[in-house]
Amino acid sequence: MESTILSPLLDRVRTVRPLVHHITNTVTINDCANITLAVGASPVMAEAPEEVAEMVSMADALVLNIGTLSAQQVGSMFLAGEAANDRDCPIILDPVGAGATRFRTSTVMQLLDRLEIAVLKGNAGEIGTLAGADAAVRGVDSGGIEGDPGEICRELAERLGVIVGMSGPVDYVSDGTRVVSVENGTPMMDRVSGTGCMLSSVVGAFAAVSDDRFLSTVAAMAVFGLAGERAAPRAKGPGSFRFKLIDALATMEPSDIIGGARILSL
């Protein structure tokens, strides 16, 4: 895949400045807000059942992240998701920890069943669990997956009718027909809590400005991974990497994507 078809999406995010509504992980909520701002979008974090539908009426994308799940939050996710579906607002679902507990796994399956999800973005353990592959989840971290990750993504995307993005040392994206790998990133991302949550926010920002959610997801993963690559050499450790990552994304130009994105069609 040519990176030149992805680079204009970054300009579009910054021109449109889409509003990305999050019902998300309380552990990483501040980082998700800041990374959304850094990419050029506008974040809002709202999960009170009294206002989520109204907030979605103003949003350009909805990110649902089950990282710190509760019964009330599940209810808010359904209210927000139904409102988003009513107005064709794309929903990005991050199934954090799916496979670790029955509550998380069943919640994800219900969300997929009752809502029209645009993009399902998770780590290898989460995506593998939902695909029925031999996968492991340790808390909210991936414990690995057996099999061809690209083919697992393709089969799951085809079965669910959604875009599937699997993050890891190499990222994979599929729409059920097309499959690509995205080889941008750095091991430093594994040393900071919440980089997966932040990636979902970036996926939401790109999905908000493109009707082709396959291309927008590929672009988001490439941009985020490239920002990590640029941040790592400037960081002294995980703490400074977190801030350098935000800076690197905020200062990225479309030309950086053309020169640095490593995307392979499989």
For residue 122, the cross-strand partners are 166
CATH of the domain at 221: 3.40.1190.20
- Is the sign of the CA dihedral 77, 122, 204, 172 positive or negative? negative
Could you give the angle at the alpha carbon of 22 between the alpha carbons of 26 and 244, nearest 5°?
Answer: 70
Number of domains observed in the structure of the chain: 1
* Eight-state DSSP code of residue 211: S
Q: Could you read off the pLDDT of 59-118 as tens digits, one per residue?
A: 999 999 999 999 999 999 999 999 999 999 999 999 998 888 899 999 999 999 999 999
In the chain, the N- to C-terminal Cα span, in Å, equals: 10
* Longest distance between any two alpha carbons in the chain, whole Å: 47
Q: Could you read off the pLDDT of 6-62 as tens digits, one per residue?
A: 889 999 999 999 999 999 999 999 999 999 999 999 999 999 999 999 999 999 999
User: How many other C-beta atoms can be found within 10 angstroms of the C-beta atom of residue 77?
Assistant: 26
Domain that holds residue 75: 3-265
* Eight-state DSSP code of residue 89: -
Q: Are 254 and 8 in contact (CB under 8 A)?
A: yes
pLDDT at 145: 64
Rounded to an integer, the average pLDDT of 140-167 is 84
CA distance 91 to 114: 12
Is residue 173 pLDDT above 60, yes or no?
A: yes
Is residue 141 pLDDT above 60, yes or no?
A: no
